[in-house]
Structure 1
Amino acid sequence: MRKLSIKTIVAIGIGAAVFAILAKFVAIPTGIPNTTVQTSYAFLALMAVVFGPIAGGLIGFIGHTLNDALSYGSVWWSWVIVSLFVGLFIGLFTKRIDVENGEFGTKQIISFNVIQVVVQVIGWFVLAPVLDILIYAEPANKVFTQGAFAGISNIITVGIIGTILLAAYAKTRTKSNSLTKE
């Protein structure tokens, strides 16, 4: 088994705390019960791309668990599992987007957004409602509406804010072959 680096462990701890803070204080209320527009998923996507799937999954899982416990006094496990799923799979499938190399151009932006859309559609349109029905015996029409709204809003926020965060992060990295010998 490959061990996690100290850098990744610290990123998980800080990332989970930031995710929880964003989820609690930088969420936009909607008319749909217990459903908000979340900026925390844009941050989760950034962390998953930079630190990989294990960090992404754990940040989503721990951060969402903390937010639910602090905000509601209990944890809604079906959606926590989806946060783990989103962080894990964005991190897993975006490993080929090498932002550490200082590159985040059109090709990487398109790849990132195609991946995040597919992952979030599976997570929010399918996994969250099905788990809500299986775990909590929630009515299907309610949970599929909540899941669809959460999925669409998360896709948009990650598509806009997540792309901006990744582009800004890539600009802080040194491009490969950018140094020349005089």
Structure 2
Amino acid sequence: MKKLDIKTMVAIGIGAALFFVLGRFVAIPSPIPDTSINIQYAVLGLFALLFGPIAGFLIGIIGHTLVDLSWGAPWWSWILASGIFGLVVGLGKNIIDLETKSLGLKGIIAFNLSQICGHAVAWMLVAPGLDILIYGEPIDKVFAQGAFAGLSNTATTAIIGTILLVAFSKTKVKKGSLHIEQ
């Protein structure tokens, strides 16, 4: 396993802190019990894409644990689902190389395909499956919660995450764009 560099460890700390703040103070209530509309997955998606799957996984796990602890007790199935989302999106780091290449339409499409897959796995499989196995929750309840979370998180990540991704890519200096003044 590759060691995490200082830059990635700092990014994990900052990403988890942002995840916590957004998850704790900017969650929008929803009509589904114990489920909210969240924007922190857009930030998690960007950080996972920039720093890779391990960072994405850890940001999701740490950030979601902090959110749950601030409300009372951790809900491990959903915490793990957040980590899985970060891991899946982070796998796109090598496909969408923001360090050396321009973003482009292909990069935006690849980001959104990865975040859709990540949310589907996290909220349609991992969270409901573990809710049933760990907590003995009713099947219809957990799949309704998972479906709502998956769809709403996909929408917020598509909108806000894409905006963040495009904005970040515009901050990168492109190769050959600097010229010596005469």
State if a TM-score over 0.5 links the two structures: yes
How far did 1:18 drift? 1.0
Q: Does 1:170 align with 2:173?
A: no
In structure 1, what residue type is equivalent to 2:55? Answer: A
Q: Which residue of 2 aligns with 1:34?
A: 34
How far did 1:101 drift? 3.0
TM-score w.r.t. the length of structure 2 is 0.95
- How is 1:79-90 mapped onto 2 (pairs within 5 angstroms)? 79-90=78-89
- How is 1:156-167 mapped onto 2 (pairs within 5 angstroms)? 156-167=155-166
TM-score w.r.t. the length of structure 1 is 0.95
Q: Distance in 1 between matches of 2:93 and 2:123?
A: 19
Q: Distance in 2 between matches of 1:101 and 1:156?
A: 28
Q: Which residue of 2 aligns with 1:7?
A: 7
How far did 1:177 drift? 3.3
Q: Distance in 2 between matches of 1:134 and 1:176?
A: 51
For structure 1, which runs of at least 5 residues remain unmatched after alignment? none
- How is 1:19-168 mapped onto 2 (pairs within 5 angstroms)? 19-71=19-71, 73-101=72-100, 103-168=102-167
Q: Which 4+ stretches in 1 moved above 3 angstroms?
A: 179-182
Q: CA RMSD in A?
A: 1.4
For these two proteins, the number of residue pairs brought into alignment is 181
How far did 1:114 drift? 1.0
Deviation string 1:121-175 (CA, Å, 9 cap, x unpaired) is 1111111111100000000000000000000001001100000001000111111
Cα pair 1:37 1:150 within 8 Å, conserved: yes
Cα pair 1:44 1:87 within 8 Å, conserved: yes
